[in-house]
Amino acid sequence: MSTGRKLWILPAMMLTLLTACSVIPGIQPIVASRSTDLVVTGQMDDMMEFYESIRKLPAPELGQVYETVKQKFVRNKSDANRARLVLLLILPNTSFRDINSALHLLNEWPREAQPTTNLQNFRNLLAALLADQQRLHHSVEELSQKLKDEQKRVETLKSQIDAIKSMEKNLILREL
């Protein structure tokens, strides 16, 4: 066998082996999946660090952060910018708290055809929690309205009882 032919066989065998690995189910390049995991884990770490930093801010600074993040999201609707805006919108005791807008942003989050990432799972968790919180808020509003209606009814009954008592007193005084 000539030297030129031997040099040609080696790349052909390597190509064949690489092709075979890509066809066999269950064998995936390890390096690619690890780098994806690192990126996703980094995104989740960033989100949690962002949340920790904003929840400790005083109101004026928090308002500035909200405006900045909102502007960034308008310019670039990336998953990270969307998640940051949602985290700001669900912060309690803020002037810009808006559960409906946060839920809308979560529901409008583009769903990728790729396997779900931790950030997408985080989105699903937040969407479920906010939907449940919204449902509970509506229940509280309904119960509050029912309580007000009952209080009015009690006041009406109380005034009717007072009127009956007054009529009884008048009748007793007439009999004397």
pLDDT tens, position by position, 81-132: 888 999 999 888 888 888 888 888 888 887 765 656 677 778 888 888 888 8
Q: Looking at the domain assignment, is residue 5 inside a domain?
A: no
Q: What is the largest CA-CA distance in the chain?
A: 139
Question: How many CB atoms neighbour CB 123 within 10 A?
Answer: 21
Looking up tokens 């994806």 gives 36
* Domain-located, residue 103: yes
Specify if 21 maps to a domain.
no
Does any domain span residue 2?
Answer: no
Asked whether residue 46 is assigned to any structural domain, the reply reads: yes
In a domain, 34, yes or no: yes
Tens of pLDDT, residues 21-31: 444 344 343 33
Based on the structure, what is the number of domains in the chain?
A: 1
Q: Which of 29-33, 59-63, 128-132, 143-147 has the lowest mean pLDDT?
A: 29-33
CA–CA gap between residue 155 and residue 160 (Å, rounded): 9
The parent domain of residue 110 ranges over 29-175
- pLDDT, residue 1, reads 54
Residue 14 has pLDDT above 50, yes or no: no
H or E element that contains 72: helix 59-75
Asked if residue 53 belongs to a domain, the reply is yes
